[in-house]
Amino acid sequence: MKILIRLLVVFLPLFAMAAIDVGDWRVSSYDLKTRTAVLGKYLGSSTSVTVPNGITINVYDSSDNKYKDIHFDTILGGNLFQDNETVVSVSLGNHSSIPSFCFDGCDSLNSVSSDVALSSVGGCAFRWCGSLVSIPSLESVILIEDSAFDGCSRLNTRMSLKSVITIKYRAFRNCSSLIGILELPSATTIESEAFLGCSSLTSVMVDKVSSMGNCVFEGCSAIEDAKIVGNADIKGGIFRNCLNLRNVEFAGNIRFGDFKVVSGIFGYATRDISPFEGCTSLEKVILGSLFETIPYSTFKDLSSLKEVTVDCELKNIESRAFSGCGALVSVPSFESVTNIGESAFNGCRSLMGNIELSNVITISDSAFANCLQLESVMGAYSVGRINGSAFLNCSSLKSFDGFQSVTNIGSSAFSGCTSLTSVVAHQLKELGESVFDGCGSLLSVSLDGNALIHSALFKNCKSLEKVELLGDINFSSRSYYRSNCPFYGCGSLMDVILGDGVCFLPQDIFKDISSLTNVTVTSNLADIYDGAFAYCSSLRSVMGADSVGRINGSAFLNCSSLKLFDGFQSVTNIGSSAFSGC
C-alpha cells in the first residue's frame, strides 16, 4: 500500500485532470511531460478574443518537491466557445486544429483568423454560426468532419479545398453564401448532404472521388456546370433541385448506384430520388464508360433536357428513365439495348428521326407514348411483344420495321399514330383493344396468326382501304358496343378478306361503312349477325360464303349496290329484313 501511494504522489501531477481557471481561460487538463495544456472553456466577456499560444500555470513539480510557474503550449479543447453569444471575432494564433464543437452555436461570431493554415476541422466546429463571414484558409485541411460548417449561411469565402480528402456528412450544409467554383481535386469521399443548400456555388469539379453519398449538392440552385470524375456510385438526389444546372459530365468509372434516400424524422422511411430531380434547366448530360443501365426515373420530367450521350454500349433503360423530357432530341444509340421499361420515353415529344431496336424483345407499356416526332422504328426483328400504349400518339411514326416477328400487341399500342400507313403482322397470338385506334393514314392491314379481334381495333382509321384477317384470326365478341366496333369510323374501307379463323361476323361489324365494296370470306363462316353490313351502300359482292347457315335480321339492310351473295345455297335461316333495300 505504501508503494502505491508513493507512485501516485510522483506520477499524478504529470497529467492533471482537474480544471484550473487561468484568467479568462479554463484549463481542462495539462501534461508536464509534453508541456501542453488543453483550453476547455473561454470565461471572458470580450467581443474580440485572441487565443493564447501558451499559458503559465503554477503547478507542483515533484522533481523539486515544490510549486512553480511553468509555461505550457495550449491546445484548443472541444466546446471552447460553444454557445457563446458575445464573441464576434477570434484570433487562433498558431493553432491549426479546430476540435469538435469548438464554436458550435456562436450566433454572433463574425470572423476567425489564424497565423497558420488549418490542418483539421472537427465535427460541428462552426455549426450554426449564422453570422460567420470569414475563416482561415482550408487549403491544407485533409479532413472536414460532420456538420463542421453546417448553417454558416453568411460564410462568403471562395473556398479552396484542394487538399481535402474526406468531406463528412453535412459538412457545409446551408452555407448559402459560398460563391464561385467548387474544386475538389483530392477528395475521394464526399458524404451525404455535404454541400446541401449551398445556393451561391456556380460550378462543381470533382476529380478523383471514390465514394459519394445522397443529396450531396441538393438545393445548390446557382450551379450551372458540374463534372464528376472517379470511381464511385452516383446516389439519389445528388443534384436534386439544382434549378440552374445545365450541363453535367460523369467520367472515369462513375456509374449510377442506389437511388434510395432515407426520409422521415426518425429515418425509417426510404424512397427513390433521382439524382436530377427538380433540375428543370438541365440541358446536356455526358455519361462515361460504365453506364450500361439508365435506372428508374433518372431523368424523369426534366423538361429542358435536350441531349444525353453515353460512352459505352447501353443495354438497359428502366421504367420512366426519360419520361416527360419534352425537349429531348438526342439520345444514346439503341443498337445494344435489350430492355426498355414502362414509360421510358413517354412524353419525349421532341425525340426525332429513327431508332434502332435490333436487340429488344419486349417493348414495355407506354415506352414511347407521346413521342410526337418519332418517325420510324428500324430493325425490330427480335421484338415479340409490344405492350399497351407502347407508341400511343406517336403521330409522326410512319413505319415499324418488325411487325413480322410480333406475337403480342397490347391495347392502344399504336393508337393515335396518324402517320402509320401499313401493318403486316403474321405471327399474332394476342391483340388488345384499340390497337390502331385513330391511325388516320393507315391504308392497309394484313393480320395473321391465332388472335382475337377486340373492341375498337381499327376505330377511326379514316383512310383504311383494305383489311386482311387471315389464319385463325377471329372476333372476340358477337356484339360490340356500337362506337367500339373494330371498324367504327373506317369511312374509306373498300375490301375485306376474312380467313379460316372467322366463323361469325358480329352484330353491326361493318354497319354504315358506305365505302365497303367487296368482302371475301372462307368456308368456316357460319353466322352473319344482325346489321353486320347494314347501310353498306357500295357493297357489290360477298364471295366464298358457301358455308353460311344463318343470316340474321337486317344483316344487309339497304345494301343498295349488292349484286352477288355467294352462299345462298347453304343458308338455312334468314332473319327479318336481312336483304331489305337491296
Residue pair 126/147 in contact by the 8 Å Cβ criterion: no
Distance CA 164, CA 195 (A): 14
Whole-number pLDDT of residue 486: 93
Burial of 331 (0-12, 13-18, 19+ CB in 10 A): buried
- Starting at the edge strand found earlier in the chain, the sheet holding 564-565 runs 422-428, 444-449, 466-469, 495-498, 518-520, 541-543, 564-565
- Does 13 have pLDDT greater than 60? no
CA distance 112 to 436: 71
Residue 481's CB: how many other CB atoms inside 10 A? 11
Q: What per-residue confidence (pLDDT) applies to 393?
A: 98
Average pLDDT of the chain?
A: 91
Evaluate if pTM is beyond 0.95.
Answer: no
pLDDT (tens digit per residue) in 391-436:
999 999 999 988 989 999 999 999 999 999 999 999 999 999 999 9
Q: What is the pLDDT of residues 524-561, one digit of tens each?
A: 899 999 999 999 999 999 988 888 999 999 999 999 99
Is it the case that residue 504 has pLDDT exceeding 70?
Answer: yes
Residue 12: pLDDT band with limits 50, 70, 90: very low
% the chain with pLDDT above 70: 95
Q: What is the pLDDT of residue 302?
A: 96
Residue 15: pLDDT over 70: no
Residue with cell 469548438: 102
Give the pLDDT confidence score for residue 17 in this predicted structure.
54
Q: The cell 428513365 sits on which residue? A: 321
**What pLDDT was estimated at residue 563?**
93
Query: Which residue intervals of 303-404 are DSSP H helices?
Result: none
SS3 of residue 482 by DSSP? helix
Determine the residue type at 429: K
Sequence-distant (≥ 6) Cβ neighbours of residue 245 within 8 angstroms: 223, 224, 225, 226, 239, 276, 279, 281, 282
Q: Is 474's pLDDT higher than 50?
A: yes
Q: What is the pLDDT of residue 192?
A: 95
Task: Compute the distance between CA of residue 157 and CA of residue 21 in angstroms, rounded to an integer.
Answer: 35
Task: Report which DSSP code applies to 175.
Answer: -
Residue written as cell 497558420? Answer: 116
Mean pLDDT of 505-525: 91
Nearest Cα to Cα of residue 442 among 505, 372, 395: 395
| Confidence check: pLDDT of 4 > 70 | no
CA atoms within 13 A on the CB side of 493: 26
Higher pLDDT, 464 or 523: 464
Instruction: Determine the pLDDT at residue 385.
Output: 95
* Count of beta carbons in the 10 Å neighbourhood of residue 52: 18
Looking at residue 10, what DSSP letter applies? H
For residue 108, what pLDDT band results from cuts at 50, 70 and 90? very high
Whose cell is 459519394? That residue is: 212
Q: What is the pLDDT of residue 259?
A: 84
Task: Report which DSSP code applies to 385.
Answer: E
What single letter denotes the amino acid at residue 398? K
Confidence at 377, pLDDT banded by 50, 70, 90:
very high
How far CA 349 is from CA of 2, 415, 419, in Å, comes to: 92, 16, 15
Long-range contacts of 365-369 (CB under 8 A, 24+ apart): 365/389, 365/390, 365/410, 366/342, 366/390, 366/392, 367/340, 367/341, 367/342, 367/343, 367/391, 368/344, 368/394, 369/343, 369/345, 369/393, 369/394
Strand partners for 289: none
DSSP class of residue 312 equals S
Q: Are 402 and 422 in contact (CB under 8 A)?
A: no
DSSP 92-149: -TT--EE-TTSSTT-TT--EEE-SS---EE-TTTTTT-TT--B----TT--EE-TTTT
Q: Could you give the 3-state DSSP secondary structure of residue 228?
A: strand
Q: What letter would DSSP give residue 317?
A: E
Helix (H) or strand (E) segment spanning residue 301: none
* Confidence (pLDDT) at 263: 59
Which one, of 84, 97, 95, lies nearest residue 45 by Cα? 84
The helix/strand/coil state of 240 is coil
**Range 447-457 average pLDDT:** 91
Q: How many CA atoms lie within 13 A of 401 on its CB side?
A: 11
Q: Quick one: pLDDT band at residue 262, thresholds 50, 70, 90?
A: low
DSSP collapsed to 3 states, 59-99:
EEECCCCEEEEEEEEEEECCCCCCCCCCCCEEECCCCCEEC
pLDDT tens digits, 328-364:
998 888 889 999 999 999 999 999 889 999 999 999 9
CA geometry: angle at 312 spanning 367 and 368, to 5°? 10
The arithmetic mean of pLDDT across residues 160-177, rounded, is 95
Query: Edge to edge, what strands does the sheet with 408-409 contain?
Result: 293-294, 316-317, 339-340, 362-363, 385-386, 408-409, 430-431
CA-to-CA distance for 249 and 251, rounded, in angstroms? 6
Whether residue 509 has pLDDT greater than 90: yes
Distance CA 533, CA 511 (A): 5
Order of all β-strands in the sheet with 225-230: 180-184, 201-209, 225-230, 247-252, 284-287, 307-310
